[in-house]
Amino acid sequence: MVILGLNYAFHDSTACLVRDGELVIAIEEERLTRDKHTAAFPQRAIDRCLKEAGLTYEDIDHVAVAFDPRLDLGRKALYPLRHPRALKGFASHEWRTVVQKPRYLRRWMAQTWPNPAQRPRLHAVGHHMAHVAGSFFICPWEEAALLSLDGSGEWATGLIGQGRGTDVEVFRESYFPMSLGSVYEAATEFCGFQPNYDEGKTMGLAPLGDPERFIDAARDTVWVEPDGAVRVDLGWFDYPDWKGHRYGEKFVRVFGQPRRKGEEFQQHHLDVAAAFQQVMEERGLELAGILRRWTDHRHLVVAGGVALNSVMNGRLVREAGFDDIYVMPAAGDNGTAIGAAYWVWNRELGRPRNFVHMDPYIGNGYDDAAIQAVLAECKLPAERDEDVVGTAARLLHEGKIIGWFQGRMEIGPRALGNRSILADPTRADTKDRVNAEVKHREAYRPFAPSVPAEHKEKWFETEVEAPFMLKVCDVRPEAREQIPAVTHVDGSARLQTVSKETNPRYHELLERFGELSGIPVVLNTSFNIMGEPMVESPWDAIRCFYSTGLDALVLGDYVLTK
């Protein structure tokens, strides 16, 4: 049985294929169109998934879509009555998401399968169910507390509940405009970033500020009720009106003038980022605390765009009272394609759980023959290296910044060792060099370390695995001067632990670099040109190599240097 999972109603459109309960492949449309965070229908991703899996459209039995336009219609109908200034923006949004996109999907289904008798069954899965229930069904545990948070789905903005086997119980949902994610988006826009896009920049900026300056006011903007409902004082914000800025006049009056894109940061921008980051962490901990009190579960599954806030996740690991948390690598809307497919497989079709998603390398790949063909077409001199891992380790130890293109593409926003830019973290100038010569991004933004899972506790203060780079922890004090390029200003790091079983080549590279340097830790950042998605193909990698300050490019077993 084959299920096609789709996210197309929201940003980061994605397609995946699940065959007999096994996740065969998942690809984000942005990787193929080169349009970052695209919300376009994932036609190219669908076609590539089928090609890579050796399947055709006739093999698809079910189509699972991570959006149900029938949900919360009553709440939506009342909204413009309560918020008349929002009528125009609200109507435009609903026309696009509830009318146009479902209409396009029905037309696509009819065109793809003209014979209704041969057409797959279409399933509309609620956005937050696709987020958190779908994550739960593929997590390592049979029982867990569930927490989903984002800007908004159909209308819900968050959910708390629990999962047992293939059963999911919802305790409480929060609804727009009561949205923790939207509050953080407002702070992101205030700091001069693009909301619903650059929240990671706000998270990285926060350690440079002093949260105490604005923490009391920031706490007044959003809170959690004892029953788990998120509440927002809307007087601070304009996002409920669907126009203009997300922050409102009161926000500016209390916190100061917002930063325009490209302007220098003022201290109050740093302090606002710090305050709202702390509030995000506190509210996440409060919701997790409610779940801990209400259930006897030892594990927590976190999903939704807010789950990409790895600093919050780190505090959940350390302080929420659970043994560990699971955040899938594509925790944002891209992952709802996978979640919708597993909702259909485990809930609607009643199949038992038979897959655990601990391997993020589920995209398409290119073998050495395909790479060699591209190199030949580009007339690039490159010989196959019999010890490519050793060569890469040596280049890193020499201070070279390398593009590392291997195997199947990872899913999600983090480069996890197959589409990565790598550098030596022991050199004090590495961070500035990668920022200035390759990434061309804000100098304050930190870079992440990768370490073999078996060595993590020697260098980092953590006892849990972090294979998807979504749990921030502290660098051990005695190690901070040894790996300065991956230690943020507050002593933290967004760690990736690498297992030999999941990515043997990358694991070997870390070990070989450790043999040369004495430190088996490598700086790892996404392999992309600023403003573009991660590279998908050898063509993308070569273009990035020659248009940035990379020193070397490792494509499979081939090495190019400048």
For 53-85, give the DSSP string: HT--GGG--EEEES--TTTTHHHHHHHHHH-GG
Q: Strand order of the sheet with strand 121-124? A: 22-28, 14-19, 2-7, 62-65, 121-124
Residue 110: predicted pLDDT:
97
Number of domains in the chain: 3
One domain for residues 161 and 267: yes
Task: Provide the 10 A C-beta neighbour count for residue 481.
Answer: 11
| 514: CATH | 3.90.870.20
Residue 441: predicted pLDDT:
84
Do the domain assignments include residue 226? Answer: yes
Mapping DSSP to helix (H, G, I), strand (E, B) and coil, where does residue 92 land?
helix
Do the domain assignments include residue 170? Answer: yes
- Is the Cβ–Cβ distance between 210 and 271 less than 8 Å? yes
| 315, 348, 381 - which closes a domain | 348
Residue 293: predicted pLDDT:
97
One domain for residues 151 and 117: no
Do the domain assignments include residue 421? Answer: yes
Do the domain assignments include residue 363? Answer: no
| 348, 379, 404 - which closes a domain | 348
One domain for residues 383 and 476: yes
**Stretch (H or E) spanning 219:** helix 215-221
Residue 381: predicted pLDDT:
86
One domain for residues 165 and 253: yes
One domain for residues 159 and 20: no
One domain for residues 171 and 83: no
Which residue stretches of the chain have pLDDT < 70? none
Decide: pTM greater than 0.95.
Answer: yes
With CA atoms as reference, report the closest residue to 523 among 465, 438, 461: 438
One domain for residues 171 and 43: no
How far apart CA 218 and CA 236 sit, in angstroms, is 10
One domain for residues 294 and 187: yes
Do the domain assignments include residue 134? Answer: no
One domain for residues 321 and 430: no
Do the domain assignments include residue 49? Answer: yes
| 327, 358, 390 - which closes a domain | 327
One domain for residues 372 and 492: yes
| 161: CATH | 3.30.420.40
Q: Which domain holds residue 476?
A: 368-561
One domain for residues 459 and 527: yes
- Is the Cβ–Cβ distance between 67 and 9 less than 8 Å? yes
With CA atoms as reference, report the closest residue to 93 among 199, 245, 231, 243: 243
Do the domain assignments include residue 505? Answer: yes
Q: What are phi and psi for residue 461, nearest 5 degrees?
A: -90, 80
One domain for residues 180 and 268: yes
Residue 262: predicted pLDDT:
87
Do the domain assignments include residue 332? Answer: no
Residue 117: predicted pLDDT:
94
